[in-house]
Structure 1
Amino acid sequence: MAHKLDAEERTTLVEGEEDARPMRAGSGHKPPCYNVQTAVDADTGLIVHHEVTDEPTDRRQLHPMASATRESLDLEALTVVADKGFDNGEHASACERDGIVACVPSQRSINNQGDGTLFDRTAFIYEPETDTFTCPAGRTLVRKQLHRKKRNVTYASQDCSGCALKPHCTTAERRFVKRHLDDDALNRMDARATPAMMKARRCAVEHPFGTIKRMTAGGRFLTRNLKGTRTEMALSVLAYNILRAINIQTAIA
């Protein structure tokens, strides 16, 4: 077990359920479990694609789930709506590249400058023609460093001396601002995530989860490890879709 922990760079391992991982739940953590993903058709409530993974968060699930859903439905274009847990710049760009219209709210609204009262990044205007930022005082921040792993670029002010707004901007010698490589795609994805869209998402996605949990005595899997859990979830989705189809047909009749 120690060798497996080292080989897979993990911090936890459950004997008898070695594929499971601790999952995030708000500010805390759940016991080791699995991450169930579903794509639900908003018109019918049918689950058109699903997956069970050992990913601890949803941040790397947007593009693979959207792509698989479009493929299973044989569509040229697709609009997907997801909650802020799926916010990912690389996936936002990948969706646009593949003709998938993603609507996901951004999680980048926290002001982490100083004590939270200093100018945050939104106070700086990006100039795409020169690849620079303009600060509230009108001074220029130039490109300084590219961080490929984090997919962002750091911009730095050339001179903050004598600036009347500096006490409201930074406590350092000069101000730095970071911009994500996929910033434009992230902004477009966030703008599409309107309150109406997010309300429609909750109505469409949460209902099947609630129904399946009720059908399975609270939503706890009875099988072991990822292969067995995927099989159990596939049967649960099949049962749900059959019941949903019957209800739709009954309503039409």
Structure 2
Amino acid sequence: MQDFRYVAEEDAYICPADERLAYHFTNEENGLVLHRYWTSACQSCLINQSCTTSKERRITRWDHEQALEAVQRRLDEHPEKMRQRRETVEHPFGTIKARMGATHFLMKTLPRVATEMALHVLAYNLTRVMNIMGPGRLIAEMRT
């Protein structure tokens, strides 16, 4: 799929053999709006085995695929940002998971799990503030 180029102006894909895969229809699967593209040139193409393995050689594009492509483009342009993110953002999640004692939540249903996660994040943030400010100064600041 990464060898296929999407041409937004034409709403079509260009395959590795420079064939145009035209838009044919849109359907919904599992709540996702998906657009389907294909060409009849695949049957006579010499490189179709190294192309796509999808059924009937069709390409599926999610309705919001451009957002994913924009994120991927930014990651490709600035790979150091992902390293920085790993250093700054991933650490709190690892700490929270370790404090939970496991990688699963105790509650069921999304609102309860969200509340449980919010409490874990609050506890993590309070610990960070205490480590930075010290408990005495934190209590004094909370009283003012």
**TM-score band, normalised by shorter chain:** 0.5 to 0.7
Between the aligned residues of both structures, percent identity stands at 36
TM-score by length of 2: 0.60
Q: Residue 197 in 1 paired to residue 73 in 2?
A: no
1:243 matched to 2:123? The reply is no
From 123, 135, 148, the counterpart of 2:28:
148
Unaligned runs of 5+ in 2: 135-144
Partner Cα separation in structure 1 for residue 26 and residue 60 of structure 2: 10
Q: Which has the higher helix share?
A: 2
Q: In structure 1, what is the Cα distance between the partners aligned to 2:85 and 2:79? A: 10
Residue 22 of structure 1 corresponds to: none
Q: Is the 8 A contact 1:142 1:158 kept in 2?
A: no
Q: Deviations over 1:96-134 (max 9, x none)?
A: xxxxxxxxxxxxxxxxxxxxxxxxx22222222222222
* 1:164 has 2:46 as partner: yes
- 2:11 corresponds to which residue? 131
SS in 2 for 1:146: strand
Matched length:
128
Give ranges in structure 1 of 5+ residues lacking alignment: 1-120
Aligned match for 2:91, one of 207, 220, 223: 207
1:122 aligns with 2:122: no
Distance 1:237 1:135, change over 3 A: closer
Q: 8 Å contact 2:14–2:21 — kept in the other structure?
A: yes
**Alignment correspondent of 2:141:** none
Q: CA deviation at 1:168?
A: 3.7
Alignment counterpart, residue 183 of structure 1, candidates 54, 58, 65? 65
Q: CA deviation at 1:171?
A: 8.1
- The structure having more radius of gyration, on CA atoms, is 2
Q: Which amino acid aligns with 1:142?
A: A
Partner of 2:41, secondary structure, is: coil
